[in-house]
Amino acid sequence: MEVYLKAQNQILADLRARVRDNNSERWTDAEMYGAINDALLSWQDRVRIPHIYTISGGWVSGTLEYTLPDWIRSNAIQPQMKSPTQFDSLSSAYRLSTNTWQDIPGWRIEPNATNGRVLKFNVSPYSTEGRIIWWGSSMPLPTSTLTISDNLLDTTGEIEIVSIGECPEYGWVKVENEWMQYAGVTRNSSSGTLDNVVRGLSQGAVAYAHNIDTPIYFGVAMPKNELYRVLIDQSIVHLNELFLGNASSKEKQTHQELIGFYEGRVKEFWRNWSDTKVVKTQVDISAWINL
């Protein structure tokens, strides 16, 4: 599965160009982002994107239970393990590369005593690196541009940012020319961190250092590029709906005609849409990215 990414500043610029409002004469940035987020909310049960959640410390031999974060959808996951070094003692006919990710069979998800969820294995995996491939919907975007609040080294696995309250629990971000994926947010009173960051998902799968106060743009991930046109069309519908309340009769007619036109295009697309998820067990996540 390829993943197509669009940063929030690019989506905003493209939407303004489509509605010919480059100077913000009709809609503010917050209204634009509100329309985009309304469109994304309608994708929740239609569009899912693969994410990686790294198991801190890896799988541990003899441990059968692992607590899952609340934001992982338990109905669409696949636990995986790196081929452990124990296999190196086998003959070459049976030995697996230690760089190979393998699906782990025999597991289930159950509630725990605190209303959370626990991943339980029937047989414990070997002690080795572990991760979960899971599928989640695109989350709403912040309604303004945020910045990183500390220098970001090329080896750092978390991102410190300001105004953490607007950040979704998981997603994609772009800092300068580097795309990253994150899963989990540590929230303080105002600032916080994006956790479990997968670095270098663009620019040749290389991570770069970024200076404090550099803008961080949240992104929308799509399994098919034509979804971007649908996102813009749906956003235009919501923008025109803003004018129906206090508009004159002539203006209402114009906005209703625009709503009808773009709604028709959107409905036609969803009638033919199918959401297919594919587990990539042998390919690094950077191979999914298509900018």
How many whole angstroms separate alpha carbon 45 and alpha carbon 48?
Answer: 8
Cα dihedral 69, 71, 74, 78, rounded to 10, equals: -70
How many whole angstroms separate alpha carbon 138 and alpha carbon 273?
Answer: 16
The H or E element containing residue 68 is strand 65-68
Average pLDDT of the residues in 38-59: 89
SS3 270: helix
How many whole angstroms separate alpha carbon 270 and alpha carbon 176?
Answer: 33
The H or E element containing residue 132 is strand 130-136
Residue in the structure block whose two tokens are 């098919």? 224
Q: Per-residue pLDDT tens for 162-213?
A: 877 778 889 999 999 999 999 888 888 778 899 989 888 876 678 999 999 9
pTM of the model: 0.83
64 band by pLDDT with thresholds 50, 70 and 90: very high
Q: Per-residue pLDDT tens for 263-285?
A: 999 999 999 887 654 444 333 44
The closest alpha carbon to 203, from 225, 232, 174, belongs to: 174
Structure token pair of residue 70: 């609340």
Average pLDDT, the chain: 85
